Structure 1
Amino acid sequence: MASTTLSVIVTGAAAGLGKCIATEFLKRGWQVALVDIAADKLSAATEELRALGHQGEALAVEADITNEESVKAIFDKTVAAFGQVDALVNCAGIMDKFHGTGEQDVALWNKVLDVNLNGAFLLSRLAVQEFLREGRVVRNGDATGEVKTGGAIINIASIAAFRGGAAGVAYTASKFAVLGLTTSTAAAYARQGIRCNAICPGGMATSIAEDFDYSNLGQLFSSVMKINEVSAGLSDTGRLARLVAFLCGEDGQDISGAVIKVDRGWTAV
């Protein structure tokens, strides 16, 4: 019998925004599968969060989200530990080198698309299958009392999905495609109560920036610096994490197919 406690898979959870999102769910009493490819960082982050004594339960799952078998193992381990999966947060992502189309290295293009888009697709595919699985405990019904399977997917996209000068061509293309993945998923499974939304952050102080190699940058990097000069600054990861939890929770059940900018007005400039 599945637990009545809600459970969520958060990718990229060893550091930065993913860790912050995982922390917020744990504070709210959710069971959280923290997924990351960096084993040492993942172990340290999981132990740190467990030590804080939050009501929720943390499970560390080392995995490569670009590998189909590895992604299947994420769901197998989460269901074995928590009974079922109620939400997925696709937060794992990597940057490019701000190169334009003509100068973009093919290997890096493939890597960025593999992590940012293909990984989100593979996880979303199995999340939908899990939400529709026979015998899964139903968490909610609609206003008419019709029973629906429910389940929520949050894709962390970027304002690069709206601005050609906010990143390089690989990152921009990957995040633009994530919006298509989001809206298609929301439309296809609306009648089953499965919700899918995208959040598009602007600048944030996360590990994706801290670990970035600033050598050999492309010409688009200068346009990003110009935006920085007139923007309102970096967004707060804690507030964004609370938005993610809201969208996955009971009060967010009427929101699906939404693309939400969290950028302190970057795209308004």
Structure 2
Amino acid sequence: MDLHLEQKRVLVTGGSSGLGAAIVKAFADAGARVAINYRSKPEAAAALADACRHTAAGRPITVHADIADAQAVDGMFEALDQAWGGIDVLVNNAGIDGEHALAWEADAQAWGRVIDVNLKGAFLCAHHALRRMVPQRSGVILNTTSVHETIAWSGYSAYCASKAGLTMMGRTLAQEAAPHGVRVLSLAPGAIRTPINRDVWEDPEGHADLMRKIPLGRMGEPEDIADMAVVLASHAARYMTGTTVFVDGGMTDYPDFAHGG
């Protein structure tokens, strides 16, 4: 199957590590030109770009920006304009969990930072992407949400609110952009084996608890998400918009109910 991604211009926010890095590699392997957005650790972004330099589209570019900062996002898209003259695919991947805190114990500023990065930052990037995609009457925006767009998670109200909000924002943008040939989708990972949750999957009790929540009986790997991201952005998904695709091993199938209510 030809995914029609050769030379497509793809920006991956939070692309220097974890899920973002796997998504960068997958798009590069598909022949796309990729921009790796990072907020910190430029050396990690550069190392990833070097690792992808032998792909068909050549070495990815790296672009620094805190996506919660409107001026920084302005500058990032100006850099893409200079390098590429536009954008074809935006992967809104950057996000943070925030600190665990029950609502009545939470620090309001810390709570707001999660919303700023996960929701406001995604909007700022989508705003700029759509301003370029709508006139060219083509493009895809893919928002990385989470199973926690629908499953509550005590202690992480900001994270859940941001991911649920991101889904509804994406559906609204899809409605607005569809007449202009632009698709908007959400990709919702479950429990994925990345450094950010190493303390859970390296702990025997934590790992056993996760396995009870996943019908397929294993954690996801970053490549499980990255491969689906490529498919959703490609010609293969050309009739999909305004919906969420869950890649979670069945976590949202509520496995606790497998043995009765």
Q: Normalised by the shorter chain, which TM-score bucket?
A: 0.7 to 0.9
1:244, distance to aligned residue in structure 2 (A): 0.8
Contact preservation (8 Å) 1:31, 1:82: no
Equivalent AA in structure 2 for residue 30 of structure 1: A
Could you tell me which residue of structure 2 aligns to residue 90 of structure 1? Answer: 92
What secondary structure does 2:141 align onto?
A: strand
Structure-2 separation of matches of 1:246 and 1:98: 34
Contact preservation (8 Å) 2:134, 2:181: no
Structure-2 separation of matches of 1:75 and 1:106: 30
1:162, distance to aligned residue in structure 2 (A): 0.7
Structure-2 separation of matches of 1:188 and 1:129: 12
1:194, distance to aligned residue in structure 2 (A): 0.8
Provide structure 2 residue ranges, at least 5 long, that are not aligned to the other structure.
Answer: 1-5, 255-261
Provide structure 1 residue ranges, at least 5 long, that are not aligned to the other structure.
Answer: 137-148, 213-221
Structure-1 separation of matches of 2:19 and 2:206: 24
Name the Cα RMSD after superposition.
2.2
Structure-2 separation of matches of 1:107 and 1:210: 26
Could you tell me which residue of structure 1 aligns to residue 223 of structure 2? Answer: 238
- 1:3-18 matched pairs, under 5 angstroms: 5-18=7-20
- TM-score, with structure 2 as normaliser: 0.86
Aligned residues: 241
Contact preservation (8 Å) 1:160, 1:166: no
1:126, distance to aligned residue in structure 2 (A): 0.5
- Aligned equivalent of 2:239, options 230, 238, 254: 254
- 1:149-228 matched pairs, under 5 angstroms: 149-165=137-153, 168-210=156-198, 226=209, 228=211
Structure-2 separation of matches of 1:90 and 1:123: 7
* Identical amino acids, percent of aligned pairs: 28
1:110, distance to aligned residue in structure 2 (A): 1.0
Contact preservation (8 Å) 2:102, 2:154: no
Structure-1 separation of matches of 2:181 and 2:108: 39
Structure-2 separation of matches of 1:106 and 1:66: 17
Contact preservation (8 Å) 2:224, 2:247: no
Structure-1 separation of matches of 2:109 and 2:44: 26
Could you tell me which residue of structure 2 aligns to residue 41 of structure 1? Answer: 44
Task: Describe the shift of the 1:208–1:34 C-alpha distance in structure 2 as closer, same or farther (beyond 3 A).
Answer: same
Could you tell me which residue of structure 1 aligns to residue 257 of structure 2? Answer: none
Task: Describe the shift of the 1:225–1:157 C-alpha distance in structure 2 as closer, same or farther (beyond 3 A).
Answer: farther
- TM-score, with structure 1 as normaliser: 0.83
1:239, distance to aligned residue in structure 2 (A): 2.5
Q: Deviations over 1:213-234 (max 9, x none)?
A: xxxxxxxxx9998555342331
